[in-house]
Each structure stands twice: as structure tokens, then as C-alpha cells.
Amino acid sequence: MIILPLLTFGVVFLGLFGLNSRRQDRWGGGRLSLLESAAFLGAYLAAFTEILSLLRLLTGPWSALCWGLALILAGWLGWRGGWLADGLHALLAHRPRPDGFDWAAGAILALILILLLVAALVSPSNNNDSLQYHMSRVMHWAQDRSLGFYATAYEAQLYNPIWAETVVLDLHLLWGSDRLANLVQWSSLLLALIGASLLAKLLGAGRRGQWAAAAFTAGLPMALLEATSTQNDLVTAFWLVDLLVFIVLSVRRRLYRDELIGLSGAFGLGLLTKGSFYPFATAPMVFFIVIQFRTDKPGRVILRGVTIGLIVAALNAGYWTRNTLVYGGPLGPASYFENKAVNFRNPARIPGVMLENILLNLSMPKDSLSSSMVRELTASFDSIGLHTLDGFTPQWGWNHEDLAGNPLQMIAIPLTLLLLILGWRRIDRGPVGAYLAVCIGVFVLMSVFIRIADVERRYQLPFFVAWAPLFGLAAAATGRKWLAPASVLLLLSVSFPWVLFNRTRPLIAMRPSSDPFTIPCLAGCTAGSVLNEPPVRVLFADWIDLQGPYADAAIRQSACSSVGLQLDSHDIEYAFWWLLDAPRSGIRLESISTYPQLERFIDPGFKPCAILCTVCRGKTSLHGLGLVSDYTGKVQLYMGPDFSPEPGQ
């Protein structure tokens, strides 16, 4: 059934490509059609998922039916309007003439994407956040056939934005397993490359400059490491780039109706993907509003604003409503967002935070070098009476997706500014100056409204992808023809360590072992290669000490079809779903201990015959079930026929 969304995307793309070819607009074309298709079908997925959820029909056949209806409708509209024929004709008539550089850069980029695709397909979702909430919520939704709230030990499964995981859910329902889960992030990287190169074109860059923008994005260590996981920062980065494409396009000319809908979809789906998108989108949307009022009548601008607002509200209505009913606000618990926006209440701290956000990207292959750099900077500031970096002692991990930075790209940002100054006469200063101001605004607002901890430095990824078009333009604007091609080949070539040596999902392992696809620990050790490690070993790559206890407990109680979970808030819940192959195997998992505000979601009819507990060490019975085994103090297994809802039993 997975072929249905792929066919639908192809038909929608072909129709939009035909529509754009009719307009004979030099800013349109295949890339714009791809980005529009992503926005349209992303919005469609969000809409039908919410509708099926209300009816508790979130299953593979119903999802396939929705995609089949979309395929028929898109095909009928495209055929009736002649857009499919025009799109096919334009596609066949489009004959690019690549030169030697295009072939070389394209081959390297294709190799990077293929290697990442292999890792994404063979690796279980083993990122910490994936195990704790991204994939756990997907399994609950699949089991419940609904996006509705449920009892859980980790509230982030409920109140965090949902779009990226709804795509994972759809793939899971159509394919029948989590094998394709990592492709959501991988596909977002591919679309972000396309969007960044198109943005460079809209800013005035030629082919070499567009290649440089794509290489800047493809070489981001954060992006390369996340492209094989089920996190959502790459998805967020893509929606920001998609939004920026339509906004910059509105500077070049008035948006067509379908493009306005595409902008609305990118904006709404970005908000539905990650809370950090709110500050990321603020500067671009303010710029868009200013441009609209400067170039059109107020009445038309207000009408467009209402249209955008209605589309955004419709896409987020289900998510906002569920949060409001339980937490009193559309974005979840107020305490969570007050903690994230702590910088906003302390303006004097913001310059220091901006500096910390810069330094977090200067991660070296040796952690000691990174730590020494921070110590030296702290001492230098202290010597002149500035205590900006006091208490700033970050963790480092150059090839860990939660701890990696973007050192080359961070160094390239001031270089971009210098090159733009040198080539100022050769660029279209109005749009470029405005886009530069927007990117700076994105960085400032990110520092003001997002508290970025050590393991959250990946939150910066959308900013770097948004900066890529400026780098591409600057590299090609100096008049030195060698600079852009050289930067492309450099950025693509040096990206391979992050492609190959991901600490938890390496294609080539670095460890003291004679296993295939393994080399010595040249820059720190990694887990075993995903090409020869058993999947269960890959799943627990960051939690090796839990593999034995979790697996033994799951195997021992696998004959029971109703399993209660009593976990700590940061336990890797998804590991139990994966080990038990639930819910596909028919085993039902439910949390029997939760927060007071979530107790209403505990099913009184649920009577587990087994309980997996990670916080019950020393207890010989739990809810009327007797202790079967305590697995090294990590997991306690209780089994029996007489479950009691009273926790003291």
C-alpha cells in the first residue's frame, strides 16, 4: 500500500509542474512544484489523520483509502485541466546540460544520500528521544487507532507537536512495520537541499551558487546525523525553507493562489511539527506582512491574512484542542514553555546565550580540544570583567546527533558576510539585504525564545539551512569563478566522517574489534556497524546495559497479551514495543501509572496479566501480580491472573 502516497505525490507534482510551465515564469519550475506538492500533501495527511482519529479508524486500509481517493482526485483534476499532459511534456522537454563539475558534485551528493538511505533503512529507531517519545507515541496511536491522549509516564508524548510522527504513523500503517520510519527525516533533508538551492536562485545566484547552497546544507553534521533518525529537526528545517521560498518569491512577483496555499501549508505544518518553529517563523512572517502592505491594497492583504490564518488554524485545530482540554493551553503545560523561554525574561543574558549558541557548534573530533577552547575563552572574558561564559561547560560529541555542532558552517557565516560585502555590487541588494535581515532575526529570536541545552543544540538546524542560500550567493558573487565550485567540493567531501561514523548508527564502526566494516577508534569509539550488528543491538546502541534486562523481561512474558507498563518519565518505552512487536503481534501495552491530570485516560477495563516495571525494585508484588524476576535491578516483571487497580495491592 506504500505505493499509493508515492503515486499521489507524483501525480500532484506532475500537475503542478504543468501548471507552472503554462505560466512561463522563470522563478517556477520543477523545484517549486516539488515544494508545493510537499505542502499540499503534507496538509492533506494532517487533515485526514485527524478525521480518521476522531472516528478511531487510523488503520492501514483506511489510510490507503484516503490516499487512493487523493490519487483519483488529483489524476482527474490534472487530466481535466490538461496539467498532467503539460507537465509530462515539460518534463520530457526539459533537457539540462550538465558539465563536468555538475557530474562530479552530483555524484558525491548522490553517494552521500544513498549511504544515508541505507543506514536509515537498516537501522531501528534508536535515538534517545525516539525511544522515549517519538516512536512510543506512534505505537500508542496505532494501537488506539486515534491521536487521542492516553495514560503515559512521559507527558512529552502528548503535548509536543505531532506532524512528523503522523507521517511515521502513516508509513507504519501502510508498510506494516517501522522499517520506513527514518525516511521522514531523510526525505526532509532531500527536500531541504532542493529548497535551499531554489532560494539561492530566487536571491539571484547562478548554477554554481545554487550548488554551494545545497552543499552547505548537505554538509551540515547535524543534518547528516539526524537524517537516519526519527527526530524532527530536519522536518522543521524543511518547513522553514519551504516557507522562505514562498516569501522570497512574493518579493519577485505576486503569489498565485496555489502558492499562497503552499505558503499557508508550510507555515501551519511547521507549527504542527515542533514548538521551536514559532520563533523561527516570526521574522519571515513579519517580513512577508510588511512586503504585502507595501505592494498591494490593504483589503487584499487582510483577505490573504485571513486565508492563511484559517488554513493554519485548521491544520493545528486537533492538536491545539487536545492540549487545551488537558493542559489549559494550545501548546501544552505552561511550565514547560516558561522554562524554554527563560531567556526572554532575562534580557541581559541574551548576548551570552547567543555566544553560547555559536560555541556549541565548534565541536572538534577530540572533546578535550573543544573543552580547552571554552576554558580559554571563559578565562579571557573573566580577565576583562565579563562573566558571559561562567558556568558554560557543555558536553561534546562530534559524531553524536544530540551533541554535534556545525563547525565549518559556523565559520562560514562571518565569511559569508565578508563575501557579500566584497560582491555587494554584483548582487540584487534589495531582496538579499532583506533576506539577510530575516536570517539574523531568526538567530536572535531563537536565542531569545529557546533555551538550548547541551542535547538540544540541534534546535539550531533550521537556522543553518536558512543561511545556506546566502552562502551560495556569496560564494558566487565575488567574481572569482573557482570559489563556489571549490566550496561545493570541500563541503561535500568533508561530510563523509558524519555519514560513515555516526556514533550510534555507523556504517563503518570505530571500535577495538575485528568485525567487518570496522576500523580502530581514530576519533572516539562508536557502536557496531549497522551493516552487521543484530537489529536489537543497534536499538540499544546508547543503552547497552539495558539490552539484556529489557529483552529477557520481554521474552519471559511474551505469552501474555495485555501488558501494563510502570515506567519512569525518561525510560526508553519504545524498546518494549519493539521487542514485543506490539501492537502488530496482538499484544496491548498500557501505562498503569501516570500523572494525576492523565488518570482519566486509564482504561478501567484493562486487566494486564503482566506488568513491566522499571521503578519497582524491592517490591514482591504489584497490583496483585507476583514478582517473577528482577532483571539486574533494571526491569521487574510481575505476572498473574488477579490484577487489581489499587497500586498498594
Among candidates 416, 396, 392, which has minimal Cα distance to 405?
A: 396
User: What is the arithmetic mean of pLDDT over 594-612?
Assistant: 94
pLDDT digits (tens, 9 = 90+) for 307-337: 999 999 999 999 999 999 999 999 999 877 7
Angle (CA) 523-527-533 rounded to 5° is 140
Per-residue pLDDT at 56 exceeds 70: yes
pLDDT in tens, 104-125: 999 999 999 999 999 999 999 9
Angle at which helices 298-327 and 257-271 cross, to 10°: 30
The torsion angles phi and psi of 590, rounded to 5 degrees, stand at -140, 140
Q: What is the DSSP string of 356-389?
A: HHHHTT---SSHHHHHHHHHHHHHHHHHTT--TT
What average pLDDT is seen over the chain? 92
Confidence of residue 428 (pLDDT cuts 50, 70, 90): confident
Scan for cell 527536500, then name that residue.
191
The predicted pLDDT at position 336 comes to 75
Average pLDDT over residues 390-418: 90
List the grid coordinates of 353. Answer: 546565550
pLDDT surpasses 90 at 244: yes
Q: Residues 260-269: what's their mean pLDDT?
A: 97
Average pLDDT of span 591-611: 94
Confidence (pLDDT) at 344: 65
**105 vs 389, more confident:** 105
The pTM for the full model equals: 0.95
Check pLDDT > 70 for residue 562: yes
Name the pLDDT band for 363 (thresholds 50, 70, 90).
confident
As beta bridge partners, residue 638 has 611, 627
Query: Cα–Cα distance between 613 and 553 in angstroms, integer?
Result: 10
Is pLDDT at 343 greater than 70 in this prediction?
no
Residue 352 identity: G
Is the confidence at residue 103, as pLDDT, over 90? yes
Residue with cell 537556522: 463
Residue 341 pLDDT more than 70?
no
What backbone torsions phi and psi does residue 584 show, to the nearest 5 degrees? -60, -35
Q: What is the pLDDT of residues 491-522, one digit of tens each?
A: 999 999 999 999 999 999 999 998 999 999 99
| 648 has pLDDT over 80 | no
- In angstroms, the CA 258 to CA 22 distance is 14
Whole-number pLDDT of residue 461: 96
Looking at the chain, the whole-number percentage of residues with pLDDT higher than 90 is 79
Give the count of beta carbons closer than 10 Å to the beta carbon of residue 47: 15
- Across 89-103, 256-270, 408-422, least confident range: 89-103
Fill in the amino acid letter for 382: D
Is residue 289 over pLDDT 90? yes
- The per-residue pLDDT for range 119-178, each reduced to its tens digit, is 999 999 999 999 999 999 999 999 999 999 999 999 999 999 999 999 999 999 999 999
Which amino acid makes up residue 155? E
Cell of 649: 495491592
DSSP H or E segment with residue 638: strand 635-639
Instruction: Give the CA-trace dihedral at 92, 204, 32, 23, to 10 degrees.
Output: -70
Q: Where are the domains of the chain?
A: 1-94, 182-363+398-505, 509-534, 539-639
Confidence of residue 479 (pLDDT cuts 50, 70, 90): confident
Report pLDDT digits (tens) over 195-227.
Answer: 999 999 999 999 999 999 999 999 999 999 999
What is Dmax (Cα atoms) for the chain? 80
**Whole-number pLDDT of residue 451:** 78
CA dist., res. 353 & res. 405, Å (int):
16
Q: Would the pLDDT of 282 be above 80?
A: yes
Give the least confident one: 20-29, 264-273, 599-608.
20-29
Q: What is the pLDDT of residue 453?
A: 75
How far are the Cα atoms of 29, 237, 382 from residue 160, in angstroms, in the given order? 35, 17, 39
pLDDT confidence of residue 443: 94
Q: What is the pLDDT of residue 649?
A: 60
Peptide bond between residue 394 and the one before it cis (omega within 30 degrees of 0): no
pLDDT at position 80 is: 93
Alpha-carbon span 316 to 191, nearest angstrom: 22
pLDDT, average across residues 64-91 = 94
Q: Are 557 and 532 in contact (CB under 8 A)?
A: no
H/E element, 563:
strand 562-566
DSSP for 572-637 reads -THHHHHHHTTTTTS-EEEESS--GGGGGGS-TT---SEEEESS-TT-SEETTEEEEEEETTTEEE
**The pLDDT of residue 609 is above 90:** yes
Query: How much is the pLDDT for 367?
Result: 82
Q: Which residue has the higher pLDDT, 507 or 98?
A: 507
